[in-house]
Amino acid sequence: MGNLPGHGPRCGFTPRISNHLAFVRKARVFLVRHKSSGIDVDIAIGELPFEREAISRGLWVEIDGVKLPLPRAEDLVVMKAVAHRPRDLADIEAVLDAHPRLNLRRIRRWVSEFAVALDMPDILKDLENILRRRRRRRE
């Protein structure tokens, strides 16, 4: 995997799992850890329309001399809603707290599409519950 940008000793990223090539092919996600900081990073291989759009909208940020593309907050909320782990749902609340003026129409549209495509209505239901709780807290 030394030919992947940002991978290898120069940037300090190493695979988090032993069968990383097979996992990348199957899940379209490269799981790495930044060795010196211990921070885990998930690098998504974008192929879906949402992923392509999220990449084109992304923000380039320089961290310790390495430029990284990061998703906009709305797109991160969509990704977290689809991942749908307890930690991701908590992260959605934190993103919404940090960015109170997000485009909720965009978020709902993409999460709705994923809910149908993946036959996972709970991802939309749980997002709406988070938004409802947030709205109540502000009132």
In-domain check, residue 53: no
Q: Is the pLDDT of residue 6 over 70?
A: no
In-domain check, residue 99: yes
Chain segment 46-105, per-residue pLDDT in tens: 778 898 899 899 999 988 888 888 999 999 999 999 999 999 999 999 999 999 999 999
CB 30 within 8 A of CB 45: yes
Banded pLDDT at 9 (limits 50, 70, 90): low
Residue among 42, 126, 117 nearest 85 (CA) = 126
pLDDT at 10: 64
Helices (H) and strands (E) in the chain, counts: 6, 5
> Contacts from 87-96 at CB under 8 Å and sequence distance 24+?
89/126, 89/130, 92/127, 92/130, 93/130, 93/133, 93/134, 96/130, 96/131, 96/134
Please state, for a pLDDT cut of 90, what percent of the chain lies above it.
50
In-domain check, residue 123: yes
Residue 86, domain extent: 72-138
In-domain check, residue 119: yes
Domain total of the chain: 1
In-domain check, residue 31: no
In-domain check, residue 58: no
Q: Is the pLDDT of residue 128 over 90?
A: yes
Question: In which residue are the tokens 């930044």 written?
Answer: 34
pTM score of the predicted model: 0.72
In-domain check, residue 4: no
